[in-house]
Chains A and B, each alone.
Chain A
């Protein structure tokens, strides 16, 4: 029987930010430096940390409101941060030089992710009920993938705001994009044809986090919702493969380990849970945070597994996974 993954706390930084920490992502290693951790906070800053000691490398300022999302380019050279002021700032990770500033109408910038090749940045479009795609070489908006309006609604019907898009995820082969909305639906798009494929139903409350399982031709999508459950979907077949329950609050974030064996979630119930996909159950609960856990992130590759979690309690925690 394969050994289950286990988490062990490595390091925590209290008061990592002056306010709640809302988002975290790992920046892949480059030829000249190992992976780094990026965190974004209500305090309007993005901070760069070096594992495993979580030494603060830099604090990036410049956003005018809280930072809702950070994303790293697969090369590890550049990254993007988005704030409530609906500006996305693209910057060089090592020098903090600004490469581009992407503007959008108010409340139309939420979670972001670079595609696996690094040629496109997908931004969840919030109130625009769409995903915006930006070309990374020229920083122009190249496509807007819109969620079709529900049948029977008039064009001026503001019920489209139910489709407020919060989260976005690329499939590992770059062919599919999934986004999660406030009303619990997940929309799947064919990227090459810029076409909406179908909805994935199941959740009835906001879907704040999505992630595909990491194998190259993966069709498996994990979704985390305020309804307290994690669903596992087959994006092509539209069926729910499974569901995992256990959190006693909203599930705010989900991430999958680089080997695809385990899933971690962060929740408003202040815990981080590690789930075994095969057993469909939580195999470990970490309770070191004293407030909602907004984001969890597995380090991609590197020696030994690492998981980071960030929370409303302003702290960052780093765990070792084995």
Chain B
């Protein structure tokens, strides 16, 4: 009976979806003004109260899975469970005030028609309200609180994403009124992905590649770009230099929509963190669950995988660290992970070992390209 109701939910999961709107500046300003007016209304009512701030809960308990039934893309999203920030809780008063301070700062930024990065917002808040803000992490968390309160995207608040990701390979990217950039001629440093989502939206893309390869690490990306792997296997290389940021995911998603015939293949280290990175590209994340679900893509796991371990020497295997096991446990508990990924994860945990892509260099510095080519041609990805 339980299974039946669960299978029904697959079709109606959209009804549970809670999401952040992508809004124009004046619309966000209006939402902030409404939040202030509501607060004041209750405060000045005959039965006055300092209202709590209702935020969409960004925890596992409020996360749901939308399984790709008709498409092959599944994603994680957040539903309508709330948590609240209250001025009345003794240790949480500053967190309450921080939300208002960030809303105030964003309102000013939007009025001036500007955009800031999270770091620039930190500098402003540090100097404007030193009593409440002392670290970048606090600012980032408070921004997510504001997103969860106003239900608008971080970018709509006037906060630009960081420019972390890089693209190289057989793709032409053209900003409006600019020259097209040929990413195969950018050298090993590639084309830097802007943090401005509007700009990324307006890029004109042309490609003759047959594959998109998402690379976990910067060093591997540089190596592959230097070796011009994309001329041997017509491909586009992409990296976020580690855990993917929203701008890189946004661009990857645009590419997957514009070029739906190109398989997206991930090259990550053989450890739980590598799989977590792949999962974020593939399904989105809970932390940014109100926005991230939009950019989920059908990413396939190319390597490193269990059967690649025979290609690397024993001594390049290292023991899993406690942090790795923590990540593995949270991945296993996530219902969205498909069975063959679970099996790989189980092998990882059982062997207690991890390996990095660099271990392939044991077979020669050009081995990485050969490995990549062979796997792609054999369609050896899951």
Contact = CB atoms under 8 A, between A and B. Distances in A.
A74 to B, nearest CB: 7
Given A99-B123, A137-B124, A117 B130 contact: yes
Interface string A123-154: 00000000000011110000000000000000
Interface string B107-145: 000000000000110111111101000110000000000
Contact of B126 (A31, A77, A97, A138): A77
A78 interface: yes
A75 interface: yes
B119 A119 contact: no
B135 A97 contact: no
A99 B117 CA distance: 12
A289 to B, nearest CB: 36
A77 B133 CA distance: 11
B40 to A, nearest CB: 25
Interface in B321-353: none
Interface string A186-223: 00000000000000000000000000000000000000
A247 to B, nearest CB: 37
Contact of B134 (A31, A117, A119): A31
A136 B135 contact: no
Interface in A11-35: 30-32
B244 to A, nearest CB: 22
A88 to B, nearest CB: 15
A53 interface: no
B135 A74 contact: no
Contacts of B126: 73, 75, 77-78, 118
A23 B128 CA distance: 27
B119 A97 contact: yes
A173 interface: no
A236 B363 CA distance: 78
Contacts of A99: 120, 123
Contacts of B135: 30-32
Nearest to B120: A99
A92 interface: yes
Interface string A85-107: 00000001000010100000000
Interface size class of A (residues with CB under 8 A): 10 to 19
A137 B130 contact: no
Nearest to A114: B127
Nearest to B135: A31
Main secondary structure of the interface of A (DSSP, over half): loop
A137 B128 contact: yes
Contact of A136 (B119, B120, B127, B134): B127
A119 B123 contact: no
Nearest to A90: B123
A75 B124 contact: no
A75 B138 CA distance: 14
B122 to A, nearest CB: 8
A282 B328 CA distance: 64
Nearest to A118: B130
B127 A118 contact: yes
A30 B134 CA distance: 8
Contacts of B124: 137-138
B177 to A, nearest CB: 28
Contacts of A137: 124-125, 127-128
A202 B134 CA distance: 42
Contacts of A74: 130
B71 to A, nearest CB: 41
Nearest to B105: A137
Contacts of B127: 73, 78, 118-119, 135-137
B353 to A, nearest CB: 31
A91 to B, nearest CB: 10
Contact of A119 (B120, B122, B128): B128
Contacts of A73: 126-127
Contacts of B134: 30-31, 75
A78 B133 CA distance: 14
Contacts of A31: 134-135
Nearest to B133: A75
Contacts of A117: 130
Residue from B120, B126, B135 with most neighbouring chain A CB atoms (10 Å): B126
A78 B130 contact: no
Contacts of A138: 124
Most B C-beta atoms less than 10 A away, residue of A74, A77, A138:
A77
Contacts of A75: 126, 130, 134
Contacts of B123: 77-78, 92, 99
B17 to A, nearest CB: 37
A73 B135 CA distance: 14
Interface in B45-86: none
Contacts of B119: 92, 97
A219 to B, nearest CB: 24
B324 to A, nearest CB: 23
A135 B108 CA distance: 15
A290 to B, nearest CB: 40
Which residue among B119, B122, B130, B134 has the maximum number of chain A CB atoms within 10 Å of its CB?
Answer: B130
A287 B124 CA distance: 43
Nearest to B127: A136
A78 B122 CA distance: 11
Contacts of B120: 99
Contacts of B130: 74-75, 117-119
Nearest to A74: B130
Interface in B118-174: 119-120, 122-128, 130, 134-135
5 contacts: A30-B134, A31-B135, A99-B123, A119-B128, A137-B124
Interface of B: 119-120, 122-128, 130, 134-135
Given A30-B134, A77-B126, A117-B130, 13 more contacts: A31-B134, A32-B135, A73-B126, A73-B127, A75-B134, A78-B127, A92-B119, A118-B126, A118-B130, A135-B127, A136-B128, A137-B127, A137-B128
Considering the complex of A and B, which 7 residue pairs feature the smallest CB-CB distances, nearest first? Answer: A136-B127, A137-B128, A137-B127, A118-B130, A137-B124, A31-B135, A75-B126
